[in-house]
Chain A
Amino acid sequence: MNRLLAFIVAAGLVFGAGCNKSTDSSSSAGSPGGKKLSIALMPKSKGNAYFISCKAGADEAAKELGVELLFDGPTDPDPAKQNEIVDNWIALGVDAIAVACENKEGISTALRKARQKGIKVLTYDSDATPDAREFFVNQATPEGIGYTLMDEAARLTGEEGDFAVITASLTAANMNEWRKYIEARLAEKYPKMKLVTVRPCDDLKDKAQSETTALLSAYPNVKLVMAICSPAVPGAAEAVKQAGKAGTVKVIGLGLPSENRRYVKDGVTQSVILWKTVDLGYLTVQATTALAKGELKPGATEFKAGRLGAMEIKGDNILLGKPFIFNKENIDQFDF
């Protein structure tokens, strides 16, 4: 059945090539049919700076590969609107779709429908249900995040001294996963460092500030505060600044450059860790194109993604690799 479907789709692609897609004669790197592949990319919302920088990478990859890139999404994060756009793309007959899903269940039905029509489906940034897509471009694994945070903390403190962690809540599954890897790395590589306390901030900047203020006076030997939820990074930085300890107590964390720029420039926060959104967009379009061309198949363990080189595939997750560290030197190049 699947094979039949694939045949029909392939035939449809070949025969339909001339009529419903823009044909750009300058493209030679397109699909075997000689026509330009059309790849549709959807952000959670169009105006979001995070996704705008994803798009910059996506455009770069599309240009390199000579594919036509459609970029559309809701103006505000809206699962219903995402479905509508997927339906439009199905009607338009695009070759492949890549979506950052606002709502896992919400979009999966529409994506399954697209797959039934033979459109290749991939997710990036945030996943759909696994049966609704072929691959998920995973921007960061818990291991990558945990290890990078711990290594950066060690680098900034000269691999010794006390540090504290601010988390969103002691029960948040993803953060506990990160903490597991932070602590594993700590035990394995940095015997002279000590995690003295873990404080929850309920994912609120103000609470993170209060918690940091208290812990700085309660644990005077703390040399670094590691904030592992995004509102906690500026919250912790403000507390360190108000305590007059900017520079002597380092602040690092997982967050957006835009929310931390001020503190990074003032030397309060040393490092903000995230992934390169441009690379995420680039990899997504590379993978989506390869999928549409049939070069990337389920079961693959590696994928060559243009300038990024060989990317690891774990199961059906294409890994973007190690997170990126934003600091004083480079933070101005990023505006999300």
Chain B
Amino acid sequence: MLKRHFREWSVAFALVLLLAILAVAAPAFYQGQPLLSLMAREAPTLVVACGMALVIIGRQIDISVGSQFAICSVCAGLLAAMKWPLALALPAAIAVGAVMGTVNGALVAGLRLPSIVVTLATMVTWREGLRWLRQGEFVNLPDNAQWFGFGQAAGQWTLIFAAVVLFILMVMGMRHLSAGRFVHAVGSDAEAARLAGIRPQFVTFATFVLIGALTGLAAGMNVVQSPQVDPKSGTGLELKTIAAVVVGGVAISGGRGSLWGVFAGLLLLACVSPALTHLHVQAYWEKAIQGAIILLAVVADGLRSKTIKHN
């Protein structure tokens, strides 16, 4: 068990180590409200990272999630500002995300174009289109939209709960549903999957639609956390989620990885920035340290696959 999930355990170990260092060096890190806020802020990222894990396990990549997130956020915000109830505005955001995912999926699976190029193009198109439309202007939400109209703590717990439930459902789906196994199969060897009766192109298409819908959901989960929507929101989300996926032990070459590892990877990366603030480390180091963590994960994967080949 330990050996089979060595990568996942090593990330979890790093996370525990970081938390232990904080407990000794900066106990102020463990305060209810800031921690709750941190988790609520990362809940949407977890939702997108789950989708990203599926896409990468399926041997593709989607770097347009940040732009999709921004579009979905602004859509949800504008609908809420037009007095749509959140019960309609949030599903609308999910639908918009799914539509953008469909575009990516159709281009990648239908026309067999490389996903990195397709999603690079859609990333720029969505982002610039939004800039042109909104000119950077914030969307102001009605007063009752924040925290779904609940109190702050209740709203934050709701978001964390929703993200965790979704995560567990996806873990179970990947393990027990044939669709989950199809994604692994296509990512390992698309030709073998095809011979086994799986339609690889359809599986690829479906993962892109799914990550779009999840990104829409995540955008909605972010919109309700503040009274206004920044049209630049989601910038850098692709890096954050891909980093979490890679650090969490998902092979960038597809076919291997688990959502638990992604969960640990995301928590580790999410804690780095506040941890450095608490340790009074200059902000210059933040990105360098996050980069070093990613590098370490990639090198570990590289060494591992080398030893496997040798054996």
A and B: real partners?
Answer: yes
Inter-chain contact B233/A217, CB cutoff 8 Å: no
Q: With A210-B38, A218-B280 given, is the CB distance from A244 to B232 under 8 Å?
A: no
Inter-chain contact B283/A242, CB cutoff 8 Å: no
Is B85 an interface residue, CB under 8 A from the partner?
no
Inter-chain contact A202/B235, CB cutoff 8 Å: yes
Provide the bound-state CA to CA distance between A238 and B273, in Å.
19
Interface size of A in residues (CB-CB distance below 8 Å): 35
Is A277 an interface residue, CB under 8 A from the partner?
no
Interchain nearest-CB distance for A262 vs B (Å): 6
Inter-chain contact B284/A170, CB cutoff 8 Å: yes
Interface size of B in residues (CB-CB distance below 8 Å): 30
Q: Which residues of A contact B283 (CB under 8 A)?
A: 170, 197-200
Inter-chain contact A259/B138, CB cutoff 8 Å: yes
Is A95 an interface residue, CB under 8 A from the partner?
no
Q: Which residues of A contact B37 (CB under 8 A)?
A: 210, 213, 239, 242-243
Provide the bound-state CA to CA distance between A243 and B277, in Å.
16
Is A316 an interface residue, CB under 8 A from the partner?
no
Is A45 an interface residue, CB under 8 A from the partner?
yes
Inter-chain contact B33/A204, CB cutoff 8 Å: no
Inter-chain contact B28/A218, CB cutoff 8 Å: yes
Q: Which residues of B contact A239 (CB under 8 A)?
A: 37
Q: Which residues of A contact B34 (CB under 8 A)?
A: 213-214, 216-217, 243
Inter-chain contact B140/A214, CB cutoff 8 Å: no
Q: Which residues of B contact A210 (CB under 8 A)?
A: 37-38, 41, 273-274
Q: Which residue of B lies closest to A266 (CB)?
A: B227
Provide the bound-state CA to CA distance between A234 and B227, in Å.
9
Inter-chain contact B41/A214, CB cutoff 8 Å: no
- The residues in A between 165 and 216 inclusive whose CB is less than 8 angstroms from any CB of B are 170, 197-200, 202-206, 209-211, 213-216
Inter-chain contact A231/B38, CB cutoff 8 Å: no
Inter-chain contact A211/B233, CB cutoff 8 Å: no
Q: Which residues of B contact A234 (CB under 8 A)?
A: 138, 226, 228
Provide the bound-state CA to CA distance between A231 and B229, in Å.
10
Q: With A204-B230, A242-B37 given, is the CB distance from A218 to B277 under 8 Å?
A: yes
Is B278 an interface residue, CB under 8 A from the partner?
yes
Q: Which of A77, A204, A238 is close to B226, meaning CB atoms less than 8 Å apart? A: A238
Provide the bound-state CA to CA distance between A206 and B235, in Å.
10
Is A302 an interface residue, CB under 8 A from the partner?
no
Q: Which residues of A contact B33 (CB under 8 A)?
A: 217, 242-244
Is B307 an interface residue, CB under 8 A from the partner?
no
Q: Which residues of B contact A218 (CB under 8 A)?
A: 26, 28-29, 274, 277-278, 280
Contact with B along A37-60 (1 / 0, CB 8 A): 000000001001000000000000
Inter-chain contact A204/B235, CB cutoff 8 Å: yes
Inter-chain contact A203/B232, CB cutoff 8 Å: yes
Inter-chain contact A205/B277, CB cutoff 8 Å: no
Inter-chain contact A48/B140, CB cutoff 8 Å: no
Interchain nearest-CB distance for A37 vs B (Å): 32
Q: With A76-B132, A77-B135 given, is the CB distance from A202 to B277 under 8 Å?
A: no
Inter-chain contact A217/B41, CB cutoff 8 Å: no
Provide the bound-state CA to CA distance between A21 and B44, in Å.
60
Interchain nearest-CB distance for B285 vs A (Å): 11
Inter-chain contact B41/A206, CB cutoff 8 Å: yes
Q: Which residues of A contact B38 (CB under 8 A)?
A: 210, 213-214
Is B236 an interface residue, CB under 8 A from the partner?
yes
Is B178 an interface residue, CB under 8 A from the partner?
no
Q: With A76-B132, A210-B41, A244-B33 given, is the CB distance from A205 to B226 under 8 Å?
A: yes
Q: With A198-B283, A209-B41 given, is the CB distance from A214 to B277 under 8 Å?
A: yes
Sample (9) of A-B pairs whose CB atoms are under 8 Å apart: A199-B283, A203-B232, A206-B230, A213-B37, A217-B28, A217-B29, A218-B28, A234-B138, A234-B226
Residues of B within 8 A of A (CB): 26, 28-29, 31, 33-34, 37-38, 41, 132, 135, 138, 140, 152, 222, 226-228, 230, 232-233, 235-236, 273-274, 277-278, 280, 283-284
